[in-house]
Amino acid sequence: MSWFKRRQRGGQDEVAINVSEKGGVRYLHLGSETVQSAMRLSDPFALELPYTHCMMSFLLFNDRPRRVTVLGLGGASLPKFMYKHLPDTVIENVELHPEVVAVAHSQFMLPLDAERLPVHVGDGGTFVAGLENHSDVIMVDGFGSHQLAENLCSEAFYQAAHRALTTNGIMVVNLWRASPQFQMLVERINVIFDRRILLLPDFKHGNTIVLAFRRGQNDPGWKALYELAETLEDSFGLPMQDMTARLRHENLHTERALLI
């Protein structure tokens, strides 16, 4: 294991960063043994953790976004994957801790590309609050050592994210299903996005991904989504057909998310 020094500001620790390796996989930990990111050394641009596969399920509804905003950089698994597979997309990232950005570059092979892969150091909630009609996709993956950052799950934040999305935009949120806040946060998103949401659980690690749509999706129908999933699976190397089946199974009561 490799420990990086804690940076202090105002006499208080900001973040403790630990990098470990096992079985050819490098792991990022922030303040605890919990895995925040993982990178297979033989394939550093691949998605190692199943929940990150689920976060890419937005491709079923927009497989050519112009701009994706990622809140919470971690080991940069999602930005790197999109950088490789979506060559016409700008993937901007917002990370509170400059130490995390430094480790993403030095230990997790995040490319330096200010044009296609800009990284902003700062508060993700504040960043989004200043945007309007800006991002086709907003990905919220801002866990600290134990829980989702408060500034990325408030009612004001979700309202700001709704405004920051383009007309057909999608917010993708990683939630921990065992959290006592889980149901409350799902309902909060549900109300702000006019009940146009879909849930996609990752049963292996207890994450659930929320897809929240600024507007309906013109009723694509499950048959069309299955056909698209097969094509996307070939292109991106992700289990899109399985994810589509789980989306259907978990959202029998929320068909409205697919409507106008």
Q: Which residues are catalytic?
A: 141
Rounded Cα–Cα distance for residues 86 and 164 (Å)? 21
Report the C-alpha gap between 83 and 92 in whole angstroms: 10
Rounded Cα–Cα distance for residues 170 and 162 (Å): 9
Contact 186, 179 (CB under 8 A): no
| DSSP assigned state of 227 | H
Radius of gyration from C-alpha coordinates of the chain: 17
CA–CA dist 158, 98 (Å, integer)? 24
CA distances from 251 to 71, 199, 210, 254, 258 (A): 26, 7, 11, 5, 11
H/E stretch holding 166: strand 165-176
